[in-house]
Amino acid sequence: MLQRMLWIFPDRESTRTAAQWNAAFWSTYAEVADELGLTWVRTAPEAVTVDATDPRAPRVYVDGVPVTPEDTLFVTSPYTLPYQAADTFNQFTLYAVLEQAGFYLPHPPWLAALGNDKMATLLFLRDSPIPPIPTVRVSAGRDLLYDEFLTACERLTYPAIVKPAGWAASRGINLAHDAHDVRGLLSLAQGGDTTLVLQPYLGRATRDYRIHMVDGRAHTTLVRIPGDGARYPQYSTGAKLHYTSLPEELAATVDYFAKKLPMPYFCVDFLHDGERFWLSEVEPDGAIMCPDRTDPEVVRQNRAIVRDRFLAYRDWHTRFLGGAL
């Protein structure tokens, strides 16, 4: 029987950042899990050790404590911000190890790279009922001075949003007005060996619609509106957040995403430019943030998403082990 949910998360946050994310969602996760009789813990990749001297019966430990596929599941979405780079390879390989050791992973390892690279995501979802936003992917390698990136950008329109292909939390997003801006941003990205994606800028009125998908259904829709003076609608740039009813046009896509991504929980993000929707990205471990902690009804809805997500994890874990619900 499931007892604990362990998030594989590189333990490299600063004291201030750790406190911020804890207040934003981590503490809520732990509280809701406790209400369900489960333990929720963030686990650094290096905390997991495996004894496979008998490969038919591997023994897995977390911080020296034994865990089994029957009592534990691991959430295995990669976190690849620059200060987490040292953990990236260990995260990916650890996911494969845990899968082979028989653990249920709500986010299967085959999805790790697809979900982490924005171009891979959009190509995987190329037949989406809502078209993916046009995207160009460029690596900031050592031969940048040859301007070979210009060939890939021939059909790109300006101004363009330029952002890392695999970061999170809206880090590194910039606006390029022409190829010269792109060259400058690539030069900076070269310092961190960062791959960028370029997309047409949809304007300051762009809204972001996030669908929280739980057990194959649209659970709750969150709208993000750009903050004062911001160029894109994200929490980190002062976006205004609120829950809303699911737009009819997006409701028609739910079955497609449920079949394409057979997981108990994930988020699908769409951008609306004032006239039409565009598919933006998919986040298997999309954060469940509360738009307004002063409103009891909003807090209730926020916690309901977390609760139903964890209940779905528990149900799918039971199925994985061959049990009946």
CA distance 8 to 3: 16
Q: What is the pLDDT of residue 153?
A: 82
* C-alpha to C-alpha distance for 257 and 214, rounded to whole angstroms: 11
pLDDT at residue 199, as a whole number? 95
pLDDT of residue 236: 65
Residue 146 in this model has a pLDDT that exceeds 80: no
Tokens representing residue 140 in the block: 């900031």
Residue 20, C-beta contacts closer than 8 angstroms, at least 6 positions apart: none
Query: Is the pLDDT score of 325 beyond 60?
Result: no
Residue 164 predicted with pLDDT over 80: yes
Amino acid 57 reads: A
Higher pLDDT, 242 or 191: 242
Q: What does the pLDDT read at residue 275?
A: 92
Picking from 236, 249, 169, the residue whose alpha carbon sits closest to that of residue 209 is: 249
Write down the pLDDT at residue 96: 95
Give residue 127's pLDDT. 96
State the Cα–Cα distance between residues 164 and 191, nearest whole angstrom: 13
The percentage of the chain sitting over the pLDDT mark of 90, rounded to a whole number, equals 68
Report which residue type is found at 128: S
* Bridge partners, 208 (sequence order): 224, 271
pLDDT band for position 186 (cuts 50, 70, 90)? confident
pLDDT in tens, 43-72: 999 999 999 999 999 999 999 999 999 999
pTM for the structure as a whole: 0.93
Backbone angle region of 102, left / alpha / beta, with phi > 0 → left and psi within -120 to 50 → alpha: left
- At 229, the pLDDT band (50, 70, 90 cuts) reads low
pLDDT at 167: 79
pLDDT averaged over every residue in the chain: 91
- Over 80: is that where the pLDDT of 168 sits? no
**For range 34-47, the mean pLDDT:** 96
| pLDDT attached to residue 101 | 97
Residues 107, 263: Cα–Cα separation, whole Å: 7
Query: Residue 273: is its pLDDT beyond 60?
Result: yes
CA dist 264 and 214 (Å) reads 6
pLDDT tens digits, one per residue of 76-109: 999 888 888 888 899 999 999 999 999 999 998 8
**Residues belonging to the chain:** 325
Q: Average the pLDDT over 9-16 and give the result.
A: 90
Please report, rounded to a whole number, the percentage of residues in the chain having pLDDT higher than 70. 95
